[in-house]
Amino acid sequence: MQPPSTRPRVTVLAGPTSVGKSTLSRHIRTHYPQVHFSVSATTRPPRPGEHDGVDYHFISPERFDELIKAEAFLEWATVHGRHRYGTLRSTVEQALTEGKHVLLEIDLQGARQVRQRMPEAQFVFLAPPSFEDLVARLTHRGTEDEEERRRRLETAKIELQAESEFDVTIINDDVDRAARELLARMGLDVTNADPATT
Ligand code: 5GP
């Protein structure tokens, strides 16, 4: 049996909307290639700069329905009352077979499903330094219209209350510090990192 620090496992990263999960994910992808991300499927159309198979598998609602029916998802959810997102079982299983540490960056509903189906996973809540900070992030992001921002803020308020359901809270006060804390929680080595090139 491998020692706990090197045993492949699943870590679920969730948190309120706009806390900076995707910025943190991007930072980790760039600087810490030892982390293996699970690429989710979504019915949301790609944003500028996003690539199919890298950021998400961008699929049609019909294809999403087929995958649900085939029980291909470890978890899936309709996020912000609009688009559907899901983690493919095959993606996670393949990574674990290859001995990789898998990171799932998903919403709270999905995290709860994983908790039920894979209780041995580690659950990490990414929290903002303050609620005001979260509102500021949401307002300055600029990728959503007013209605969408309002909807996401409502979701965020509910999501913030879920912190106690998680094993660990990481405060997203600084992206590299938060990344290192997450990697340490995953039992990964961060000594090869180059924080100067963030
Ligand atoms: P965005 O559309 O901004 O990329 O993501 C919106 C939300 O969907 C984020 O909170 C993100 O964590 C969540 N999300 C992304 N992939 C998945 C997934 O596979 N399952 C679930 N449940 N949520 C996801």
Question: What's the domain range around 171?
Answer: 10-185
Rounded to the nearest angstrom, the distance between the alpha carbon of 60 and the centre of ligand 1 is 16
Ligand 1 center–CA 2 separation, angstroms: 32
Residue type present at position 141: R
CATH of the domain at 107: 3.40.50.300
Does residue 24 lie in a domain region? yes
pLDDT in tens, 6-26: 555 899 999 998 899 989 998
Would 191 be classed as within a structural domain? no
Is residue 194 situated within a structural domain? no
pLDDT in tens, 126-144: 999 998 888 888 777 666 6
Whether residue 193 is contained in a domain is answered as no
Number of independent structural domains in the chain: 1
At 155-198, the pLDDT tens digits run 788 889 999 999 999 999 999 999 999 999 999 888 755 554 44
| Helix, strand, coil % over all residues of the chain, rounded to 5 | 40, 20, 40
Give me the phi and psi of 67, to 5 degrees please: -70, -35
Inside any domain, residue 51: yes
Is 0.85 surpassed by the pTM of this model? yes
Residue 4 resides in a domain? no
Reported as a single tens digit per residue, the pLDDT across 99-124 is: 888 999 999 999 999 999 999 999 99
Pocket around ligand 1 at a 6 A CB cut-off:
17, 21-22, 40, 44, 75, 77, 79, 85-87, 105-107, 109-110
Position 123 in a domain: yes
